[in-house]
Structure formats: structure tokens, C-alpha cells
Structure 1
Amino acid sequence: MITIRHNHEDGTLVYGTRKGDGVFEIIKKWENGGFRFFPSLRMLGLRNSRDQVADRYAINAAAKALREAGYEVEIEIDDSFRDRAQVLEDKADRLEDRRDALENKAGRHAGAASAAHDRAHQISERFAAGQPILVGHHSEGRARADRKRMDQAMRKSIAENDTAQEVARRANAVGSQMRRSATPAVTARRIKTAESELRKIQKSLDGYTRRHLDHKGQPYYIEVHEGATGDHREMLLARKAQLENQLEYDRAQLAAAVEAGEYVQWGKHNVHVGDVVHYWGIRARPVVKVNTVTVAVESDYSWPDKVRYTEIRAVECPHGQDGPTVTAPKRPAKQAQAKPKAEVPTIDTDKLKAAAQTVSHMHVGADREAFVSPPAVVARLMELAEIEPGMTVLEPSAGTGNIALAAVELGAVVDCVELDNNLVEVLASRVPGTNLLYRHDFLETDASQLGTYDRIVMNPPFSGGKDIAHVTHALDFLKPGGRLVAVMGGGVAFHKVKAAAEFRQLVEDRGGSITALPADAFKSAGITVTTVIVTIPC
């Protein structure tokens, strides 16, 4: 047995049905009533039917469709209205529950956003130090997988943060419409609307005729409307009783506002020709005619504007004995919110998007040997370089700019040389304090192009003696009294080949030093070769 039951407290609900029995598929259609599923109730029903007169057309259409499909259906309708004060009290309770639910939902999304944000940073540890993906290197697969997971976490963090902020906004908006509807001005307009609806209802109950006149004013057709009968009459009578109760409540509320001076009922009794009326918040115009529902005011064109009495905010009367007087309602004291404003922490999504954009450029060919200096190595380089504010510093083959960034933070004026276009883009975003970004090979650059520097700090490619070639060439850019500090392959300290031996002699002749780094110094960059730091003064 399917029961479609309506009362003003619960609205229109369907009882005796269960998931998959086919009832919803029938009555959800517009022509069969347009019923919906309410997840919070786990029931089928009509939207906005609580504290409303039963929609007998929809209910009967649903019952007819179900009976034709072989279901046994009963209809139970109780159109007894509830007192207006009780209706508003229950609505306020429901809104409070909704606000709590939205606030909890906002908190859940904010937590998910924070967790995704933290996960993105954990995954991006290998990229945070500026290490690019080396295309063709054995580490490429793992690096690309990390970047994909980091991008997914960032996107989730941004999406969850946006959802949390929107839900918090909705939570704070709950009840605002109800609070506005309780203001005297809105109450007055609602009374006018209800009175108009009551007149129409009574007209439909009693029946009426409508005369259609020709151009001479003679009736050529008389339209006769009989008084409402059947379900229509029942709906009208129920709505009439409900409106009368609402009007009684609203009139009492408006009378209290008038007595407190919070509302002025404007009309022909207190608005006169020559008065200046303030309306629409900012406009103020003289009255040229007073009507029953409106006043006509001067305008900027050849005909007057019409302003409803309910739209008037204040009246300035020039007829007072002591000069013009302004009559306006008092502003009621603002009541504090029952609950503090719902707020959720905001994640800097712009920073996340910028980080993702930077990482998208961090890939170069494996032949570039772009193994960036980890933070611990950079700190050691800065210590040995003894950079002071205002010094000029060069980082050849700068890569993603870890060394340049540290030098900028120490107050140095830094120039960078970098060949790869992708890494130049990363440098521009990570180290905005650098002055020059040359898109060509450092070994093909000479001092006449750049000049000389107080300090040169570098991490050149290691294989095939490239580090020796880069460091030797870099000495041409060093000022007298300056210092070069470079990370190099460990072989320069012990290899017996001619190039390594000559380089060690150069370091010794210039009073420099070669210091071994820990075996795992470049582990985070994906390599485990031995490395040293070479310091060469000029």
C-alpha cells in the first residue's frame, strides 16, 4: 500500500515505498506530480510543501499514475494550518540545524584541502630544491610519477579550498532571508500582497463576471466565472484560512514596529504636495501629486515619477513652523549573531598554482647533468664564499637557481648564465632578484660580455672533465681579491690524468683548497657520486 500524506508540519510525503520498487521512476515525472527524493528524510515528497496548502493536482496526478501501473494508493490530506508564530519558530530551528550542518561540511572540506596541500608539499620535496626532471635518466620515471601525484594533490587542495569557502559563505547566509523578511518594510509589503491574494481568493469563491467592451464602450461579450468547486474550492478555503492567520500575525508585528517608531506607515494622511520624499536609498524629490497607493514626484523629464508609499524611506516637510522637518523611522538596534561567523582557513591557492607552473618547466635532457645543489651543500658554499651585502656574484650554468637564490638572500647582486630555456623560466620565477639570464653556453661566454665579479659560486656538470673546464674558464670572470667556490666531482682530488693533476696544481698555486663532501650529499638530486668543494682565491 502506497500512502501519499500531506499535513502542514511535514509537507507532502510518500509512505510505503522502498528503493527499486519503481514508484519514484513514475512520480518524479513532471506530468505525474514532479516528486523528489529527500536524502535527509530518505523519503519521496514534494518540494516546498511544508506549511503550504496541499497541491492536490500533483497529489492526484501521482496517485492516478501509480494506480494505472498497478499500485494500490491512498491519499490523506490534512490542510489544518499551523499558527504563524509556530511556523516561524520551527523554521528558525531548521535553519539553525542547516547552518550547523553547513559549518561542519565547510570544516571537512577545509581539512581535506589542508591534507592535500601538505601531501603536495611532501611529494614535491624533490622539486622544492629545484631539481628538474632529467629526460632519459634512470630517475625520469619516478620523477614524473612524483610530479603527477603532486599536481593531483595540488588540484585537490585548490578544489577543496574553493568548496570550503563557498560552503562557509552559505552557512553565514543561512537565516539572512528570514531576518530580512521580519523587517517592518518587508512585513508591510507582505501584508499588501496577502490582502491582494485574499481578495482574489474571495472573488474565485464567489464567482464573478467580466465584461468585454467594444470601441463604443458597449459590452460585446460577458465572461461568466462560476464559484470554485471540488478540490479547487478546498484549496482556496485552506489558503484563505492560512492567509488570515498570517495577516493577523504580521499586522501585530507591524503595529509593534510603528509604536516603537521603527516604521512609519506613509499615506495621504502624512504626505503632502510640496513635501520632499526620500526613496530608493539616495533619491530625494518634491511631491507634485498624492494618490491612494503612490505619490507623483518631479523627475528629470517631462512626466513625473511614481513612488509607492512602501518605497518611501523618509519625508522632508517644509511646512513646519520652525522650518523643514524630516520624518524617518528609527533604525532598530542590530542584534548580535546567535553564533559567531563561520570561518575556515584559506589556502594560498595562487602560490600552489605558481608552484605547479614552475615545476611544469623543470625538465631537461639527461646530457645536461642538471643535478642541483641540495640545501646543505648550498649552505656550505655560502659559508666558504663569505658573501657580503652589495657584492657582485656570478653563478655559471645556474640551473634552477638554488645558489643564486641563497646569494640574493645575503644581499648580493647576482648574475646568472643558463643555456636551457625551461630552466631560464624556472630561474625567472624562483629568483626574481637576478639581473641577467643568458640563454647560451657558459663556455662560449667571455668576460667582455659580463665583466668580472667579487664572487663566483657554481655547480658545473661533472662528467668527462666538464667540471674542470667550467671552473678554469670561470676564473677569467673573477676580480682581483675575489673568490671562486665550486662543487666538483671527487675525481679532481685523486685522478692521475693530466687534466686533474694540472687542476690540483692550479688550486695549490693560488692558495686554494679542496674539501670532500659527505658521500650522500647529492642523494636528494638522484646521484650518489663523490663530490668535493673547491675554493680558489684570486
Structure 2
Amino acid sequence: MCDQGLLADEDVVTPHTATYSPEDNKLRLYTAFRLDRETYDRLRAAGFVSAPKQGCIVAPAWTPAREDLLLELCGDIGDEDTTLTERAEQRADRFEGYSDRRASEARQAKAAVDSIMEHIPLGQPILVGHHSERRARKDAERIEGGMRRAVKLWDTADYWTRRADGAIRAAKYKEMPAVRHRRIKTIEADQRRAEREKEEAAGWLKLWSAAELTLDQARAIAGRCWLTVEREAGKPYGTTAYDVLRDDPPRWTVEAVVEVAQRAYPAAIARAERWIAHCNHRLAYERAMLAAALGLDEATENAMASRWDLEPGGRALIAGEWLVILRVNKTGETASSVTTTPPRGVTWTSQWKHGIEKIKDYAAPTKADSDKVKETNKLPPLCNYPGEGFREMTKADWSARNQWSDFTYVHTLKATDTAGTHRVRQMPAGGWKAVQVYITDMPTKRPPAPPTKSSGTDIAFAALAVVKSRAVQLPPPRTEADDLRDVLKAGIHVVAVPHLFVTPDWLADEVIGDAMIRPGHLVLEPQAGTGALASRAADRGATVDCVEVNAALSAQLEAAGRYRRVIAADFLTLGAEPLYDRIVMNPPFDHGIDVDHVVQALNFLKPDGCLVAIMSAGVKFHTSARARTFRDRMEALKAEWSDLPAGTFAGTQVRTVAIRVWMDGKRR
């Protein structure tokens, strides 16, 4: 429905329909016929993406430009009929269908394995030289392959089951009051940004609209604002008013720049007003839904904050713990967060800030608790006393300190063994240092006495018990896939190494030579196999690391004792640490996985490192997106390609190539 193409039927007159959903802030276009290429490209450029399972084209978020485009195509934008939960249920139904199909295929694979295993007892070793050795080895490989396929299919079925559950959970999560409240705060921030943009645009428009602007005045205004007067290739923002006015004589007249400003800023104001109106509509919807979820009146300005009359000294239940509220922080007249005593186990701070949506319950303060909070929030006394190294000055000199306007002049000194907590005046003394000040013509005020254990001002509230239900976590029931995994671990006594093609000696020598390996280099061979490349790198005096996923082969490499490390893991799952001077590799080719291995290996190279890899020749001409992206990256790094002779690897006719890449893109 959403593919490019010409109109399928010129006689079709059914109009397209467009909808908007305030739940997810998305615009949707339901097409009545196949779109022409130009319209489809316009939608793609505006950020719309195809959603074939929903039967529509979706914009990830509302913008004025996207709304205008849908109004042009449809004439009107209606409300979305399906809710977020309904769409999540539809996705869950699709995922459950995928899960059922993979589970059915897994049972078929398991049945095929059972039919072969009838004549091979699990755990019985194969006798080398026995007349049935070849058949037994082949059957063992088929058993292992069938088991792995069945396990993978069951894992895939479990994956789609989890996706189905996740789709429902995600929809329900977005409807939670706390999540909706955080969304409201995000929308409010967007609204404030749009209001600032409108105010700034109105201010610049007023300056540019002043009567009889001189060239110097226009240059001064252009130097303070960003006004694009024309687009220019190679410049992301084009040519600005400052660019065209700064020359002598200027490239543009003042009148021409003013004309552009009088078009641009009203458009910016109109765009900001649309954003403000859109945010107002979303806020009204979200607040009404939040109030309904909490069982409050829809007219409530902020449903989350109005659930309780929060006061300092009260106790808030946050993350299963009762915390004492030290301060209620407000945006305007609405509580947005609370500052509390720190959670249990936090020792590096005496206060902790929580969003209002995190409060699960609230207990009003007692008089004793309120008095303790007031005492805690009260500022320490401001003291004035002389001392060694202090700077002495008069009150008039202290008042003339504006030359250090960015300095904090009043500093709080914590309690010591000789004095209690108090505040003092200070001035900068060079760098980050400060010196305390004594005002000579003001009364001397000494610091308070040090606190005693019984008279300390630290808050010590009686803890409120919170009973948490601790559900017993039972292990999940075993499945057929678990049984097959156990059999794979211990039942098949045959080492099968799929896609292993040992590098011929002559080719291994060429790879090592092309990599220019020298003594002292740190070298990596991923998917090392039998170590044909790693052993030659070690012969040249390099320090070598190997990665091999097959346990038997990795044990063989470890037993050789020639390498610094042998990592028994899938190379594609490793993190890029450490970095290597050289990487030499002969990765598996199956389904183009050699591309993934080479891309992963580039992450392990030093900035001046070199990689030499043997790859399938198909990477040079395959048209898949992965292959094209890989070729583009190799071209950017100035990689060197060389074709290898047919039949390089015995037992296969796959054509291969060798590629050499220097990470800095410089050829040696």
C-alpha cells in the first residue's frame, strides 16, 4: 500500500484519510490508492515511514510541517479510532502467530532427530576404523544439526512470545500515572521552549522593523541574531545577514535584509504559536487522563501533585522507603518534586531529590517533625570575626565588591571540634582560592559553640515500617528445549566444526607478508580454527591472541603454548578490547557472515593498524544493503582487493578474495 509507484487506477476518487492520536503523538495516513512517486518521496522526506502491518504510513511525532502535508493530501485530520492498547493487542496477536509457527517447526525438527537417534545410543563413542564409522559420524552430525535447529526454533518461539507480552506491557506502562506525569513535564518543557522562541522572534522582528535603520545599526543587529537570507551549497545554514552586511560595501542593502527579516520572523512566530497550541492540547488531554486514572476531578490543574497536601516534615513513600520531606519544590504554583532525606545506604549527601510522580503514599507531618525540618532548613548564623590571614576592610569597601560579580561571597563552614556550623564572608585570592573577610566597622560575632551529641541538628526520625511482600521465586519449568540443550552438552561425542576451511600454507604465508607483521606487534586471529595464520605470526616474533568458538579447537590452540591468550568465544560477541597492531583472519563465509566478522575486527584495530582478511568473492558484487555498506566503507578506507585462484580451499569451489585495510586509510 505504501510502496513507490504510479497510480494504480486513475478513476479512483476515494480520498486518503489522516488521523492524529494524542496517546502517542503520531500522525497516520491511510491511503485510498497507491501513491505516486513524488508524493511518496515528499512523505519520506517529511519523516513518515511505512507501517504495512497497520495498513498506513506513520510519522513518529507531530510537527507543523507534517500536519500541513497531511492537510494538503487529505483536507482534514481526524482522531485515531484505535487506542494504544488496541494497537498493542494487534501486535501481540501477530507475534503470537509467529511464535506458534516457530514452535511447530521446532517440533518437526525434534521428530526428525528422534527418527535418527533410534539406532545410535546417546553417549556411545564412535569406534575409529569400524565399518559403520562414516555413517555414524554423518548421523551424529545430522543429530546435532537437528537438535541445534530445534533449540533455535524454540528460542525464536520464546522470543516472539516475549515480544507479544512486551507489547501489552509497554502499552500499559505508558498509561501508568507516574509515566504520564513525566510525559506532562516533557510537554511543558517543549511548550516553554516554543514560548521562548516566539518571544525571541518577536524581539528580533521589532529591532529589524525600526524606522530608518543605518548600516551600522543593521550590522550590530545581524551580529547578535541568526538570520538566514539565502541558501548556499556547502553551508548547513546558508548565508546569514551578518555575512552579507559585514563587507564594505555590503553585498546586500539594509532594505533587502529588512525585507527578509519581516518575512522570516513572522513565520517563526506563527510556527511557535502552533507548537504552543499543540502543547496546550496535549497537556489538556494528558492531565484529564491522569486525573481520571487517579480518580480526581478532570479540572485538576495537576492531578499528581493534588493527591496530597505535601508539607516539609511529612513522610513520602518512595521506592518502598519512607523518606522525610525537607522541601517541596514548585514550578509556578504546582509541586514538581520534593527534596528528602537520602535513601537508606546513601552517605555522600544529606539531601535527595525525587520527582512528584515517584511518591506512592504520604503521611502528614507531626509538630515534632516539622520543628526538626525547620531547624535543619534554617541558615547557619553569619559571623564576623578577625583571624590570621583574614582580609580586613570596611563595610563600604565590602559593598564595592561588584568587580567579582561571579564569585560566591558568603561561604558555609561546617562544624568542627572548636566551632559549630556558621557562615562567613570571603573574597577571591587568586585562582580557585578564597580568603575570609573581617568587616572592621561592624560588630564582631563569634561562631557558635560546637554541637554536642545530644544537641546536634541532624534529623533523626523514627522509621516507619514498610512491609514488602517477598514472593518466592520458583525456577521456570523445564521444556523440551532444555532437555535438548543437556543432550547437546554431553550426548554427542563427535567434534563437528562447520564452515572450517584451513588456510593453505602458501596463502597463509602471503597473508602474513601482506600484513607486514614485525617483532613486537600485537596480533589477533579471530575464528582461528587450527591457527594457520596465528602460528606464522608467532614465528615472526609477534605477540598473538586467538579467538575460537569451538571448544575442541580452542583447547588445541591453548595446548600449543605459543599464544598469549586463547579466548573460547564467538568473536562477534566480544567487546573491542584490547586494540591490536595487526589482525589476520579467515572467517566463515556462510550467508555473508564474513562481512560481519571483518566489520567487528575493524573495531579491534589501532588507529594505524592493518587488517588482512580472506573473504568470499561475493562481497564484491552482492547487491544487499549490508554488502553495499561494506564496500562503501572499504572504499573510504582505500582497501586493496586481490582475487584468489579457483579451488584455493580443497573441497569447495567457492571463489575467494583477499582484502587489506589500513585503519588510517593510507596505503603502505
Q: TM-score range by the shorter chain?
A: 0.3 to 0.5
Q: TM-score, normalised by structure 2?
A: 0.38
Where relative contact order (Cα < 8 A, 6+ residues apart) is larger, the structure is 1
